[in-house]
Structure 1
């Protein structure tokens, strides 16, 4: 740091007491009495090469491009740097700003104007760290690092909270979807149960109606004979039949057992028919033909109208047979020459052979 050269020691001049001054005025300088440790006094005239160091509060003379301007520039930059550093430390650490005190500098330039290049220069020391101890600088750095660590931890915690919130929301959505699916399943099961109940009720009602219809038909239809045994059913295969299978329903009964009209109709055939033996054909009002074969005798004639239960013939063993029985066939307008199953047709009419 530049400083002014030391001034030569001032000459010792005896001082006068206030009683010796003119008009009793206060002495211009000195202690008011002679000092044994001072003197001899000589007149001192400051010059460019001998100037006392300026100490404490003082006024600085205006310089032309001298050291004071440069020193002021350095001082301003230092203050700005110090304030900036303090502000940065405050922003980082969150503590109140560090107070900066500017001490009296030993020299900021000459108080006099000099055109010489040898004039004293101001201090070039930066003031960014003025008033800040190394411990405070280290503490500020530590506080800044702690603040950065806190921010990182806070950000990590926020990200963790967001991830946990997403997971929780996903779990809630999954639970809601599961609950909705279960509710839909329960609703479907309830609807299916209701539909099944309705179907069951409808089926029961239909069965009741069918039973009533069959009961009514049963009064109009009857089985062709009694005291019988079913010995052959429709569709049985075997060499006993010329077609290779059985085309009717056999009621085995003793010879002479009465054969009754199953339903009211008109006799369209009555007589011998080859392998069928004596056969009677009863045609119903809807065109259905009932064939009664292997009779021992015939009690009706062609064109005769009969009612349900009228005796039309007797069980026998005529034609291609192995024993006495009634061979019954059912032929409808839509069936082929083989006819349909007599067992199913009888049941459809409310009869149970």
Structure 2
């Protein structure tokens, strides 16, 4: 229970002249307190649990702010501190401890814990902000590093693909060049082979022609035309009523009567006599069995069985038998008895009619 005993009365202050720091010297019966000079003790904030219950809307409560406000007000007005004032008798009931009051203790405890929580929350928020900034920087750095790595990878892949494309193009170019070179070499080889074959053919033809010329030269040396100073008047195979068969069977050399008739090649005289429409006729048999007939002779200078050489005279041109004028009728018969073209046979022997 509170006590109702009066508080002891404080002694009164001595009346002294009052000197105002603002209005000069004055004499007053009012108590004087002297000039107030703030010191470290007087401006030290009053320690205690001056708490303001938290309000919704985000207004913080702080005893420090309240103490600073009081000190500023006291300093600005030049008011003396409570310690210099005379004691005043105040009767106060005996009050229980605030912490023992229902609801108040928990409030004070909550305030204390709230201040710590606020400080912790503020620190945690600051640390969270710093962590977020650090994480953001790290994330940005990570994103930058990842982007740079991706860019480097893309560039590397592009360079690799370009290198592969260049290698493929180079291989294709080399292959094409090789194919062209092979085609050119094959063409050159083919042309060289064709040229060699042509040269060989020409050489063979030249050799053959040379051999033929040599053969004809030898034949020409061993064969001779049947007469000289002549004119071809009828050829082999001509048709007409003058020949009993209807066709001319030999080659006619028109020449003056008495022109020598010569052996075309060495051989043996098979017959030399009159032969009807042929007049006087000499048959010369060659070594291979070929027979040469000389007809319409004016005279004969050889007899049967006689051997003669190439170019030897065997008779003379005449007009005996069935004729229209002097000429040498020459026929060529194979060993089998068939008649052939005398002109072709003479050409084959290297003789030009």
The TM-score by the shorter chain falls in which range? Answer: 0.5 to 0.7
Q: What TM-score do you get using the length of structure 2 for normalisation? A: 0.56
Which residue number in structure 1 is paired with residue 351 of structure 2? 351
Which residue number in structure 2 is paired with residue 38 of structure 1? 47
For the 8 Å contact 1:54–1:106, the answer to whether it is kept is: no
Q: 1:266 to 1:168 in 2, by over 3 A?
A: same
Note the residue ranges of structure 1 that are not aligned, 5 or more in a row: 1-31, 58-102, 108-124
For the 8 Å contact 1:55–1:106, the answer to whether it is kept is: no
Answering whether residue 176 of structure 2 is matched by residue 174 of structure 1, we say yes
Q: 1:276 to 1:143 in 2, by over 3 A?
A: farther
1:165-244 pair list within 5 angstroms: 165-236=167-238, 241=243
Structure 1 residues 288-297 or 315-324, which shifts more? 315-324
CA RMSD between the two structures: 4.5
Looking at structure 2, the residues matched to 212 and 177 of structure 1 have their Cα atoms a distance apart, in angstroms, of 51
Deviation digits for residues 218-270 of structure 1 (CA, Å, limit 9, x no counterpart): 33322110111233344456665555654433222122211111112122233
Looking at structure 2, the residues matched to 239 and 143 of structure 1 have their Cα atoms a distance apart, in angstroms, of 124
Shift of residue 128, structure 1, vs aligned partner: 10
Which residue number in structure 1 is paired with residue 124 of structure 2? 105
Deviation digits for residues 105-134 of structure 1 (CA, Å, limit 9, x no counterpart): 359xxxxxxxxxxxxxxxxx9x9966344x
Query: Which one has the bigger helix percentage?
Result: 2
Looking at structure 1, the residues matched to 242 and 150 of structure 2 have their Cα atoms a distance apart, in angstroms, of 109
Alignment size in residue pairs = 257
Shift of residue 313, structure 1, vs aligned partner: 2.0
For the 8 Å contact 1:253–1:326, the answer to whether it is kept is: yes
Deviation digits for residues 293-314 of structure 1 (CA, Å, limit 9, x no counterpart): 2323333333232222222222
Q: 1:141 to 1:316 in 2, by over 3 A?
A: farther
Looking at structure 2, the residues matched to 320 and 138 of structure 1 have their Cα atoms a distance apart, in angstroms, of 136
For the 8 Å contact 1:300–1:313, the answer to whether it is kept is: yes
Answering whether residue 262 of structure 2 is matched by residue 260 of structure 1, we say yes
Q: 1:39 to 1:146 in 2, by over 3 A?
A: closer
Answering whether residue 253 of structure 2 is matched by residue 251 of structure 1, we say yes
Which residue number in structure 2 is paired with residue 112 of structure 1? none
Which residue number in structure 2 is paired with residue 64 of structure 1? none
